[in-house]
């Protein structure tokens, strides 16, 4: 039921913005920060996550001749899809995407977008355990590494509390850094703008650490690290997940990451 409601709301919202045309409409007024629209993300409650998707992977595994690699890719894509849906849920609740790294209150340490997203992944209890007035590696918060939600596991098999699911951060990106965009701000179109990717295992960080991929327009591929396969999954601002070839033209990848360069990209182009 939650999934149906969320997709209906998200679809209606995207239609109201103009869908995937790249022209997402006009704002009714200045956007507000999450702190201006609600006290903290936990006030939003649990939303944005459908039922666990391991069942689909299990069903695929039961089919004769299906390789483990195929099952693994399915699970990775499904987990990233849950994160993409949760990001839309967050944006609909607070009026903008979660900032990559910013405090929840003045004077507090920066909090990762992954922590902010917890209530939208049905992990409100875990969010409550995280002390927002302490750094991510404080004696209390460091204990939460072992409780990393499966959605952040990606293709990693190590149970070390690290994730390779990361956002591009910096000027022009959707989550930016201390600030973030809303859907209307994504001028090139939510269907054409990457928000989160699965980077190489060498780029993995503790999942609660506010650390992501710096966006270098001159060489956007470098931030991804060592991609073992021929492609990598990426979540877009419209909630979709697509696999992108690791040898993609750097200029094309730059256009997919930059939300407002005036150069929207159609899927057939990449």
Using a pLDDT cut of 70, give the percent of the chain over it. Answer: 74
Highest-scoring range by mean pLDDT, 40-54, 89-103, 177-191: 89-103
Does position 223 have pLDDT exceeding 80, yes or no?
A: yes
pLDDT averaged over every residue in the chain: 82
| Gap between the Cα atoms of 173 and 178, Å rounded | 12
Decide: 186 and 237 in contact? Cβ < 8 Å. Answer: yes
Instruction: Read off the pLDDT of each residue in 74-92 and give the average, rounded to a whole number.
Output: 96
Using a pLDDT cut of 90, give the percent of the chain over it. Answer: 64
Partners of residue 233 on adjacent β-strands: 243
3-class SS of residue 118: helix
Does position 52 have pLDDT exceeding 70, yes or no?
A: no
3-class SS of residue 146: helix
Does position 62 have pLDDT exceeding 90, yes or no?
A: no
- For residue 90, give both structure tokens: 């967050």
Instruction: Read off the pLDDT of each residue in 96-113 and give the average, rounded to a whole number.
Output: 95
Of 149, 169, 172, 170, nearest in space to 161 by CA: 149
Q: What is the DSSP string of 1-62?
A: -HHHHHHHHHHHHHHHHTTTSS-----SS----HHHH-S-GGGG-S-S--S-SHHHHHHHHT
Decide: 156 and 203 in contact? Cβ < 8 Å. Answer: no
Taking the domains of the chain in order of start, what are their residue ranges? 2-6+36-269
- For residue 83, give both structure tokens: 């994160």
Of 19, 50, 71, nearest in space to 192 by CA: 19
Range from 11-25, 130-144, 209-223 carrying the lowest mean pLDDT: 11-25
| Gap between the Cα atoms of 174 and 170, Å rounded | 9
Of residues 48 and 192, the one with the higher pLDDT is 192
Q: What Rg value do the Cα atoms of the chain yield, rounded?
A: 18
Does position 31 have pLDDT exceeding 50, yes or no?
A: no
Residue indicated by tokens 């609600």 = 38
Decide: 102 and 178 in contact? Cβ < 8 Å. Answer: yes
10 Å CB burial of residue 231 (0-12, 13-18, 19+) is middle
Residue indicated by tokens 């039922």 = 51
């Amino acid at each position: 039921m939650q999934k149906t409601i969320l997709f209906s709301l998200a679809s209606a919202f995207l239609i109201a913005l103009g869908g995937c045309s790249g022209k997402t409409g006009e704002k009714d007024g200045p956007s507000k920060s999450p702190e201006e629209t609600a006290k903290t993300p936990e006030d939003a409650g649990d939303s944005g996550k459908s039922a666990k998707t391991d069942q689909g992977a299990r069903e695929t595994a039961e089919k004769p001749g299906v390789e483990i690699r195929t099952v693994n890719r399915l699970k990775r894509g499904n987990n990233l899809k849950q994160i993409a849906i949760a990001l839309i849920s967050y944006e609909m609740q607070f009026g903008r995407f979660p900032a990559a790294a910013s405090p929840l209150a003045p004077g507090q340490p920066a909090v990762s977008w992954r922590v902010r997203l917890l209530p939208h992944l049905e992990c409100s209890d875990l969010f409550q355990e995280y002390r927002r007035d302490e750094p991510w590696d404080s004696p209390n918060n460091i204990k939460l590494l072992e409780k990393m939600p499966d959605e952040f596991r990606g293709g990693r098999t190590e149970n070390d509390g690290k994730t390779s699911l990361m956002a591009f951060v910096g000027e022009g990106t959707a989550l930016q850094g201390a600030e973030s965009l809303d859907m209307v701000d994504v001028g090139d179109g939510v269907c054409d703008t990457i928000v989160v990717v699965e980077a190489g295992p060498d780029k993995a960080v503790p999942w609660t650490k506010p650390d992501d991929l710096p966006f270098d327009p001159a060489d956007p591929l470098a931030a991804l690290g060592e991609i073992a396969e021929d492609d990598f999954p990426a979540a877009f601002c419209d909630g979709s997940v697509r696999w992108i070839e690791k040898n993609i033209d750097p200029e094309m990848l730059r256009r997919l990451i930059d939300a407002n360069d005036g150069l929207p990209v159609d899927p057939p182009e990449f």
